[in-house]
Chains A and B, each alone.
Chain A
Amino acid sequence: MTAEASPVLAIRDYSLAYHVAERKAEVLKSVNLSIARGEILGLVGESGSGKSSLASAIMRYLPRNAEENSGDIFLGQTDLRAQSQRAMSDIRGSRISMVFQDPATSLNPTLRLGEQLAEVLIRHQGMSKAQAWREGEERLALVGLKTPAEMMHRFPHEVSGGEKQRVVIATAFACNPELIIFDEPTTALDVITARQILDLFTELQAKTGVASLYISHDLALLSQTAQRVAVLEKGTIVEEGETAALFRAPSHPYTRALIDAVPHPERSLAEASVNASSGPLVKIRDVSVHYGRKSLFDSLLRRDFKGVAGNRAISLDIRQGEILGIVGESGSGKSTLAKAMTGLNRFEGLIEFDGRPLRGLSDMNRDYRREVQIIFQNPDASLNPRQKISEILARPIKLYGSKGHATVRDRIEAMLERVRLPRSFIDRYPHQLSGGEKQRIAIARAFLSSPRLVICDEITSALDVSVQASVTELLMELHRETNATYVFITHDINLVRQIAHRIAVMYRGELVEVVDSKAITDPDRAPYTRELLAAVTPPASTRLDAILS
């Protein structure tokens, strides 16, 4: 009875601030949290919410400019704040451990996986190298790796992302800790791999009963993983409670906004189906893209060169006014196709736009360029950091001409309003804007040319959930106003089901199938499509919908 009453992790009235450039930035304000044994607490927050700082604070790994108040952080009976660094290093890895977001960067690239796993056992359990190595192999088997002995000798770059994360998880569980902090462990992984890791986590947690703090920005994911959820907004826990109750009746407006922002596949935003009787706007026939080039050396030695295939004989129609979603994991070739269509990649095969045939970059004239626009994923990279917004947005006007008598500046300001940005932004530089604001500029730039086809290459992937929702909303509005055709490339299945008329599924450079969005869940879909959907539509997402409807 009383053994359960004492929480594994107890944070009481804890505040944290950083001293940056003579100012004090408050990162966490009076945080109260507790996690009981065997419990999974989900912590949801967007970027800037302070969730990573909370993890660092618990691990007592804060930068020099950090200032804490008198709040408590207790691990069981141990006052973590009172521990010296040496005492903390005994605790880290053995009583508390952590699983990080990106296994590619959180593993040392020059050491074998086995060593990185064995070293915690050697450090905390006093094993010899041989013992630790053997124990490590057993641990790798427990996380579902098929050939543990071989895996121990591998280097990180020799194994896949999913395998790496399994090793990281094995390392976290190795010393049977009381608490594990999971910091967005599936965000950097592909959809299908992420599902596998999530299943692994659930299984291990149930088996060991370790208390878990699961940090994520993904509400849908937390809804099916965590027993309790705490919502962190700008350093304050605005709401906390049992998962089902929280989702059924959120009391705080921020929680409500977050829940609303989650894409619901069942709620389609696209209007009624598109009229397919007029011919397709774009016909793609047998388009292939190869990367790589024969080097001078290879030519001298007369060696054969096998390029890397980015796309293999893709054939696809894009209908007027529709929103075509293209989904696939990384490496599926979706961006490659987009780049071929905008003349950024050489391709073989034929692309027909509005009846005009195009076989290469030279066929893409000024008109084509005006009518076909592309928006990139990362707004930091797609806006020239040395140009003001006025110059960035003036380019399409200057290139494609301006109808009517409005001045360039007027047109830019009108467009800024249309994308819901203040007119004063016209004189700013990109680095003075937030990620979402920059992406709106990129959208504005594309629409200034009154395009007929807009290719969106993962444009919401780098944004926070709530920002994603508002950008998506803007996109749909513009679609209604202009009736432009969209090609919406993404790895987010739920989002694409929500906004697209038809969905094209790609895998390893090939087009698997193209179907109506409503038909995507039909049982006679291709095996890969079904696998993809199964990874993303776990029972609890429908549980979320069931709760909400």
Chain B
Amino acid sequence: MSASYILKRVVLIFYTLFVVSVLVFAITQILPADAAVMMLGENATTEALEALRQQMGLNDPVWMQYLHWAGGVLQGNFGISMRTGQPVGPALFSALGTSLTLAVLALVFMLMLAVPMGIIAAVRRGKVADLIVSFISYIGVSLPEFVTATLAVMLIADWWGLLPPAGYVPLSQDFWGGIERLILPIIVVSVMMIAHVSRMVRSELVDVMHTDYIRAARLKGLHPRRVLFRHGLRNALLPAITIVALDVGYLLGGVIVVEEIFSIPGIGRSLMSAIQARDLPVIQAGVMLMAATYSIVNFIADLMYAWLDKRIQYD
């Protein structure tokens, strides 16, 4: 893997973040929110408002405000929250940490279920197991997170009382208690991904098992298990890396909803309250962090894929 291959992708990350920042900055400019009014209250004097606006640079032309903000971001300064008056950065990063815990656990859980499901469905194609998996997939991919969450809370928390319905405890504080409270959110957020990825794995594996080289392997008299695992899965799971990376976008969206329902203090929840309160700096920073997460995940996936698939040209 050459340096220029990696470099090209790193440059792309920066370009992506640049475009996202312009987009989100443009959007927040159009939002009818007057930062000064928000900070000083409705009854402040016009002079005080004007002074604050001057100080916050709100009267500067848009592109200057953008550069000012972007410069701050590059130095790690994300501004001051209009709602709380606290610096945006630290609070948001810690919220991001919480969300990432949820997301990573959900990803692991999803892989542990979706990949075997896809394999079983492919190997037992057309039989009962395949139909069951297909059925689950169709349903899973058609249930929005809020429906799954509400039903899950209703069944598992309220009726059967197996798990607590909401609330969050940091894992560092109480590991098992924290995990217990994360189980439902993890399941909810991964349902759609499980459905999608298992379908993908099945489809890829079925395609691979029909190739000439699999036929050649069987005709060499190799054990079916070896053919499946050593020859088949290697080639089928490779594209899955790319698909999972792309699905991270949906995952992050789902995280927003799940954090709302289960009251988890993650970045999704921060964004929701920021949007509702028109807290511009938080919105800007939050969207940037989400986009950055997605970009970095895809970057890692690209590298993994290139490392595993020897046919990629590294230029």
Binding site for B on A (CB under 8 A): 59, 61, 88-94, 97-98, 100, 102, 105-111, 119-120, 123-124, 155, 157, 168, 171, 297, 300-301
B-side contacts of A59, CB under 8 Å: 219
B-side contacts of A107, CB under 8 Å: 213, 216
Question: Are A100 and B230 interface neighbours, CB within 8 A?
Answer: no
Question: Are B220 and A97 interface neighbours, CB within 8 A?
Answer: yes
Residue interface mask B183-219, A partner, CB < 8 A = 1: 0000000000000000000000000000111011111
Neighbour of B213 across the interface among A92, A109, A119, A123, CB < 8 A:
A109
Residues from 211 to 252 in B contacting A, C-beta threshold 8 Å? 211-213, 215-224, 226, 230-231, 234-235, 238
Top 3 A-B pairs, shortest CB-CB distance: A93-B221, A92-B221, A93-B220
Does B60 make an interface contact (CB < 8 A)?
no
Q: How large is the interface on B (under 10, 10 to 19, 20 to 34, 35 or more residues)?
A: 20 to 34
- Minimum Cβ distance to chain A for residue B227 (Å): 10
- Minimum Cβ distance to chain A for residue B209 (Å): 12
- Minimum Cβ distance to chain B for residue A195 (Å): 24
Contact A89 B223, CB 8 Å, known A110-B310, A111-B230, A157-B310: yes
Secondary structure type dominating chain B contacts: helix
Residues from 298 to 315 in B contacting A, C-beta threshold 8 Å? 309-311
CB closest residue in chain A, given B214: A108
Neighbour of B222 across the interface among A93, A109, A155, A157, CB < 8 A:
A93
Question: Are A171 and B220 interface neighbours, CB within 8 A?
Answer: yes
Instruction: Compute how far the CA of A336 lies from the CA of B244 in the bound complex, rounded to whole angstroms.
Output: 40
CB closest residue in chain A, given B310: A155
Binding site for A on B (CB under 8 A): 4, 8, 11, 211-213, 215-224, 226, 230-231, 234-235, 238, 309-311
Question: Are B217 and A108 interface neighbours, CB within 8 A?
Answer: yes
A-side contacts of B238, CB under 8 Å: 110
Question: Are B231 and A108 interface neighbours, CB within 8 A?
Answer: yes
Instruction: Compute how far the CA of A111 lies from the CA of B231 in the bound complex, rounded to whole angstroms.
Output: 8
Neighbour of B8 across the interface among A98, A168, A297, CB < 8 A:
A297
A-side contacts of B234, CB under 8 Å: 108, 110-111
B-side contacts of A119, CB under 8 Å: 220, 222, 226
Instruction: Compute how far the CA of A370 lies from the CA of B178 in the bound complex, rounded to whole angstroms.
Output: 76
CB closest residue in chain A, given B238: A110
Question: Are B222 and A108 interface neighbours, CB within 8 A?
Answer: no
CB closest residue in chain B, given A60: B219
B-side contacts of A100, CB under 8 Å: 212, 216
B-side contacts of A105, CB under 8 Å: 211-213
Instruction: Compute how far the CA of A297 lies from the CA of B219 in the bound complex, rounded to whole angstroms.
Output: 46
B-side contacts of A300, CB under 8 Å: 11
Question: Are B235 and A123 interface neighbours, CB within 8 A?
Answer: no
Question: Are A61 and B218 interface neighbours, CB within 8 A?
Answer: yes
Question: Are A90 and B310 interface neighbours, CB within 8 A?
Answer: no
Contact A91 B221, CB 8 Å, known A108-B235, A111-B234: yes
Instruction: Compute how far the CA of A91 lies from the CA of B221 in the bound complex, rounded to whole angstroms.
Output: 7
- Minimum Cβ distance to chain A for residue B205 (Å): 14
- Minimum Cβ distance to chain B for residue A133 (Å): 16
Contact A109 B235, CB 8 Å, known A119-B226, A157-B311, A297-B11: yes
A-B contact pairs, 28 of them (CB 8 A): A61-B215, A61-B218, A89-B218, A89-B223, A92-B218, A92-B219, A93-B222, A97-B220, A98-B216, A98-B219, A100-B212, A100-B216, A105-B212, A108-B213, A108-B231, A108-B234, A109-B311, A110-B235, A110-B309, A110-B310, A111-B231, A119-B226, A120-B221, A123-B221, A123-B223, A123-B226, A168-B216, A297-B11
